[in-house]
Structure 1
């Protein structure tokens, strides 16, 4: 008797599964080839003893103390505090060879380019006209507001390299990141690929310094020495140097503050004054940091309170009375009182039950930056 055999069960989805697997493999191979586009082997390396025998030149700075030669710089600026003005002060100093902010020596390296991705062409040219650049032939402009520049595309990168070479650009300012970047804002992988494209363009075009301007994140804390730029964490990992630029003066809202931190760079916070007619930022001494200005502003409030209390009642005010009216931490109030005493705005005497009584001092309190007699670096007053 013949044995009846059952035909093997056929999975109706198998052809679709195999087809999908093939697509995934092809997709992975395409990604791998895409990542390898333009790849070149790194130059041959040696052992440490060979390197130690080499005669390396001393580290050079394109901008003294602020930008080492060959650096990538992230100019991380607080929203609506004049980030483009700060960038254009650098552009003018590179073009003319003048000290940046009147304080940081420029080493001539060649031409500078500003890729303006945010401001209208009319406004950009008007600002540069105000700045009275003496050597405008050293500045090349590319206005990209509303213009797509997908730098991860090889054709676009090739075009950018040719443009930079044609203009002999050695310092390249891209302003700002958020307007030119075409990926997802918080995707570290997309930001990494975009930054690699920038680095490739810089290398192929033989650009010396690349400055990328960015907005700070909304969660930036006022007391942070370095605040995060908007975007994925990879953006903060990329630069050699981070400039942090912001407002925050309780004395003069026109003042700006900058720090510079990075590889071989550590410049603590300094103050910049702004001259509107020429859009010039100048480093000033004698004004103090944001923390200094907050202390002085609070001391002014304390001194004013003490004087108003005495004028109204003929009596001094004690420590608890000040703390009740000045809604700050006790340690902050005490530092403000000490400053007010040092300035002769108030005087403190011992009262009953170990209390401290505060009287008006010999000098009227004054809350102006000019009251501190700030000294412009390089001026005759210095």
Structure 2
């Protein structure tokens, strides 16, 4: 609540509408007006005019001016505090007259006029205050600067860890983004990862896992009862090695951009001995804070917040799950999502409802490989070899994969399989098989308009 004495304050209204101070009258500040006793005879039309003038002026002092709703609520509340409040008709008339006058005053200030310069000065001061407040906020949240290390010193350091948390898929100390198509089985894959990290079983029956510490699972999607049932069916041998955090409907309690929230969660994670975080999934968290997943300026601070939480909690790895978009070729949303992780896992399914996993990143390279599912145990295992890596298949297809590549290098528009066969020519069966081969190798993708390069251009061409 301001005192209304700025360049567009309530003094103008007090003079215009004849407010005069007397022996029992308040001072000119808004606080004086509001503290006048409820039964004081001075709480009449002139008093209401002065109060409305203050609030009308105050409404324009905010960076985003407050509107009629705020103004009228404040004036009505002040009037209601009188033992004999002004009637509704007179109240509305006074509020509207002063509000319109104040609005014209701001809208009609001509550049170069004294009034315009006063308004500019107010706005500049507000911007300076906001900038200084932001600077102090950043300074309070700034972590300690790391020590500069001579190259020889850094290369001789023993970090005492393993190179891989999940062999070939998740590096020690790394971040992984699991992007999954809708209903492709991301929760089943997540639960299989939980079991492997907790019990030390090979992930998907193939990838060696280095167990250690405690896993924290932030579940923002599944109901508690369903999550419990699915995890029980996996028969986890060491449930004491993971912490389950039921976050459905509670996403706003985990704010990685708020230093206080980060400090509280970091303390809890550190006390529990957590070394790996799994967050399932990103969308509810974005929704909880009203963030747009397509805007890097909103997504990137959240991702950097996860890194801050990792550092403060002394957590080594983070696995973040997100939904796919873009015709099922990559995680939907801002490109920042692809910059943040050290590795990206893609979980997809085909027209026959078969599931596939592929992965890429720093030291990570898994071609699209089929997953086998046991409905009794909910266990997933990796097929023996990716279709795209079978040498006998490459030999049988001959030159036709290259012919399909050459076609899309010149004409990247999606086509049906039959149209591709017509465009390429030759052995139709070999062309159709080549399309399947290139899809399995992530060189082509299937979308609403047919088959085509995932990003519009085939890699390497």
* TM-score calculated relative to the size of structure 2: 0.58
CA RMSD of aligned residues (A): 3.0
Where 2:173 maps in the other structure, the secondary structure is coil
1:155 matched to 2:266? The reply is no
Matched, 1:279 2:384: no
Q: How far apart in 1 are the matches of 2:318 and 2:385? A: 32
Inter-partner Cα distance in structure 2 for 1:231 and 1:287:
28
CA distance in structure 2 between the partners assigned to 1:236 and 1:336 by the alignment: 37
Describe the superposition over 1:317-339 as per-residue Cα deviations: whole angstroms up to 9, x where unpaired: xxxxxxxx956524598363599
Task: Pick one of 338, 354, 362 that aligns with 1:263.
Answer: 362
- CA drift at 1:234: 1.0
**Count of matched residue positions in the alignment of Structure 1 and Structure 2:** 294
Distance in 2 between residues matched to 1:187 and 1:96, nearest whole Å: 38
Deviations 1:296-321 (A, max 9, x none): xxxxxxxxxxxxxxxxxxxxxxxxxx
Q: Is the 8 A contact 1:72 1:211 kept in 2?
A: yes
Q: Is the 8 A contact 2:421 2:428 kept in 1?
A: no
* CA displacement 1:43-86 (0-9 Å, x = unmatched): 22134455455567796101111111000110111111111211
Pair 123,25 (structure 1): closer, same or farther in 2 beyond 3 Å: same
Runs ≥4 in structure 1, deviation > 6 angstroms?
Answer: 55-59
C-alpha distance in structure 1 between counterparts of 2:246 and 2:156, whole Å: 47
- In structure 1, distance between residues paired with 2:419 and 2:274: 53
Question: Quick one: structure 1 residues 174 and 327, their matched pair in 2 at CA, closer, same or farther if it must change by over 3 Å?
Answer: same
- Please give the residue correspondences for 1:123-272 in structure 2 after superposition, counting only pairs within 5 Å: 123-147=226-250, 148-149=252-253, 150-181=255-286, 182=289, 183-221=291-329, 227=330, 229-248=331-350, 252-253=352-353, 255-272=354-371
Which structure shows the bigger proportion of residues in helix conformation? 2
Q: Which has the higher strand share?
A: 1
Cα deviation for residue 177 of structure 1 reads: 0.7
Gaps (5+ residues) in structure 1? Answer: 1-8, 222-226, 296-324, 341-382
Measured against aligned partners, the alpha-carbon deviations of 1:138-158 in whole angstroms (never above 9, x if no partner) come to: 121111111123332222212
Decide whether the 8 Å contact of 2:369 with 2:385 is kept in 1.
no
CA deviation digits over 1:262-292, x for unaligned, max 9?
1122222222111122211101126725999
For the 8 Å contact 2:161–2:172, the answer to whether it is kept is no
Contact map agreement 1:257 1:289 (CA 8 A) in 2 = no
Structure with bigger gyration radius: 2
Q: Secondary structure at the match of 1:171?
A: strand
CA contact (8 A) 2:347 2:357 kept: yes
Closer, same or farther: CA 21–178 of 1 in aligned 2, 3 Å: same
Query: 2:125 aligned to 16, 19, 22, which one?
Result: 22
The more displaced of 36-45 and 206-215 is 36-45
TM-score where L is the length of structure 1 = 0.70
What SS class does the counterpart of residue 115 from structure 2 fall into?
Answer: coil
- Structure number with the bigger relative contact order (C-alpha 8 A, sep ≥ 6) is 1
Structure 1 CA distance, aligned partners of 2:297 and 2:427?
49
